[in-house]
Amino acid sequence: MMKNNLKVLLIEDDMIEIMKFNRVVASLESKYNIVEAHNGDEALNILKKKDELPDIILLDLNMPKINGMEFLSILKKDKNLQHIPAIILTTSNNQKDLLECYKLGIAGYVLKPLKYEDYVTKIKNLLAYWSINELIKI
């Protein structure tokens, strides 16, 4: 049986955060297809290629130019993109942000922990969870 690797679009501006994510992914047995975008603009460009859409989007909230929330509202208004599960990956546990994000239609909200080992656990579980989900394939 052919098993498709989960395709993840990671939108994150912080270099070390990207390194962290990639290091976790590299340490895992399952293989994932990671695409990086360093800000909202770049992400929107990547999403223009309709035949290469990601399965899920991991999104940082605090970013320069288009911030996470703005990106999210653009995404959720776009008929071709709104079905893609977006999971927030952020430091802010501001209740206002949480509410706003869930209202816009996110699929998850994960806080970045201080300790790297905690981060490893969270990302591992997150990727494992989305791997067992049925996703829209175009």
Choice from 76, 112, 122, 124 touching another protein (CB under 8 A): 112
Which tokens go with 116? 């790297």
Q: Which of 95, 102, 45, 92 lies closest to 72 in space, CA to CA?
A: 102
Q: Is 122 in the site for another protein (CB under 8 A)?
A: no
Choice from 30, 33, 94, 121 touching another protein (CB under 8 A): 94
Distances (CA, A) of 138 to 17, 36, 37, 54, 55: 30, 21, 21, 10, 10
Q: Is 100 in the site for another protein (CB under 8 A)?
A: no
Distances (CA, A) of 105 to 15, 49, 86, 93: 27, 22, 8, 17
Stretch near another protein under the rule CB under 8 A, chosen from 3-11, 48-56, 87-95, 126-134: 87-95
Q: Is 20 in the site for another protein (CB under 8 A)?
A: yes
Binding site residues, another protein, CB under 8 A: 14, 16-17, 19-20, 23, 62, 90-92, 94, 97, 112-117, 119
